[in-house]
Structures are given as structure tokens and as C-alpha cells.
Amino acid sequence: MATIQGGCYTAGMCGSGSRKRSLGFTGFVVALFIGGVSWAAIGNGVFEGFVHHIAQQITRDKVDFAVAESCTSWFYERLRKSPGVRPDVKRLSFVVEASPDSHSCASRYPGINEAREAFAHTQSTLSLSLTFYQLALVADRDDDERYDAGELRDMLASLNVALLHGDHPIQLLAKLKGKFDDVRKAVEFTILTDSMQALYSKGYRFTTADQAAMGRVTGTS
């Protein structure tokens, strides 16, 4: 059984030190029932919900990756080859523990080729989820853990997601979640690189705060 250490993905999810103590999803949902939804309520709820959605997928991806990696090693060991993965495959390092003895690799994969394919696929999907998480952080230009009107518009535009007049917070969040899910399913990195470039061209940057948040979601800090 693969296990993941830690559960905090952004500073806003880790205890009483959060700058979103009094807002978060409370303000996000209440805004739906008040005439005239404020951009502050929209941006705050969308940011929190979006990074949480991606972080949950990252957790699942890390487990899938760890299982595929350990099974690849298990098959190599059975073939009396190197117990590690192929040297030409770049490894991703996370605080993940997985034992090939804790699950049946033989029943999970017909053979080493299938295990290697699963390893490559889970590596790609995990990398994509992490890159999308980075994009979500970069779009919060001032690192206040919410999207203001300009940040949210830029984020949606960079991903070619339509912002319609009258969109409510849940609709905006659903659009971003849906975009992430679609891009991840297709493992379409080009969309991500184009989106990141669009934000960088407008002055957005990957900041020290973003780096710290990435460290928490990967378990490296």
C-alpha cells in the first residue's frame, strides 16, 4: 500500500495561520445568495476551490506513480536486472512510501512492459498536475490566496476559458476544474506552457511564496 506523508497543499489549508480564516468557502457560497456577487468573494472562493481540486488529484497521482514505479522495479528484479527504474527515465522525488510487497504487481500488470507503460503514464500525469498547480499559484500575482478581478480574467483567458456575464463563483470554479480535468486526461502540456507564457507576458511570476506552496504539495519542504 502506498502512503503519502502530509496533507497541506497551500498555506491556506494548514491551520489557524491562514489569511482566509473568515472567508474561504463560507463567503464563496453566501455570495451566491446575495444580490450582486462581489469580485472579492468570487476570486477568493475560486482560488481556494481550484487549488484544493488540483491538490486532491496530485495526492491520487502520487500514489499511482509510486505503485507503478515499485512494480516496475519488482518486475526488473524478477528478471534479474537492475531493481531500479530505467536510467533514461527521469525520476520524480516525493515523500512517498511504497512497497512492491504490499500489492500484487503480477495481478496488476501482465508483465514488465505494461508496468513500464504505467510508470511512464503516471509520471506524465503527475507532472502535468503539478505544473497546473504551479499555474494556479502564478495566477495569484500578489500571493494573497485569492484571485482579484484582473487575475481571474487573465487566468481564464490564458486557458481559453470563456468568462460570461453573470457567471457565479460555482460556475467559474466548475469551468476551471473542468479545464484542468480535460487537460490532464489528454496529458496536453502545450496548453499549460502556452497559458504560463501568456501570464508571464503580463508580468506574472513564480514567486518565493509559490515555491513554498509547491514544496508543501510535493512534500519536499
For 3, the 3-state DSSP assignment is strand
Instruction: Identify the pLDDT of residue 26.
Output: 41
Rounded CA gap, 18 and 145, in Å? 9
pLDDT higher for 23 or 199?
199
Does the pLDDT at position 154 exceed 80?
Answer: yes
Share of the chain above pLDDT 90, in %: 59
Question: Within 13 Å, how many C-alpha atoms sit on residue 147's CB side?
Answer: 28
Q: Is the pTM of this model over 0.75?
A: no
Rounded CA gap, 118 and 18, in Å? 38
Instruction: Identify the pLDDT of residue 48.
Output: 92
Question: DSSP label at 4?
Answer: E
pLDDT higher for 12 or 124?
124
Instruction: Identify the pLDDT of residue 221.
Output: 64
User: Which residues touch 134 (CB under 8 Å, ≥6 apart)?
Assistant: 196, 206, 210, 214
User: Which residues touch 162 (CB under 8 Å, ≥6 apart)?
Assistant: 156, 175
Instruction: Identify the pLDDT of residue 162.
Output: 92
pLDDT tens, residue by residue, 30-57: 333 333 444 444 555 899 999 999 999 9
Rounded CA gap, 81 and 187, in Å? 30
pLDDT tens, residue by residue, 70-87: 999 999 888 865 444 454
Helix axes 112-138, 208-218, angle to 10 degrees: 150
Question: Is there a contact between 55 and 49 (Cβ–Cβ < 8 Å)?
Answer: no
Question: Is there a contact between 79 and 112 (Cβ–Cβ < 8 Å)?
Answer: yes
Lowest mean pLDDT among 5-14, 44-53, 103-112, 118-127: 5-14
Burial class (CB in 10 A: 0-12, 13-18, 19+), 212: middle
Instruction: Identify the pLDDT of residue 80.
Output: 64
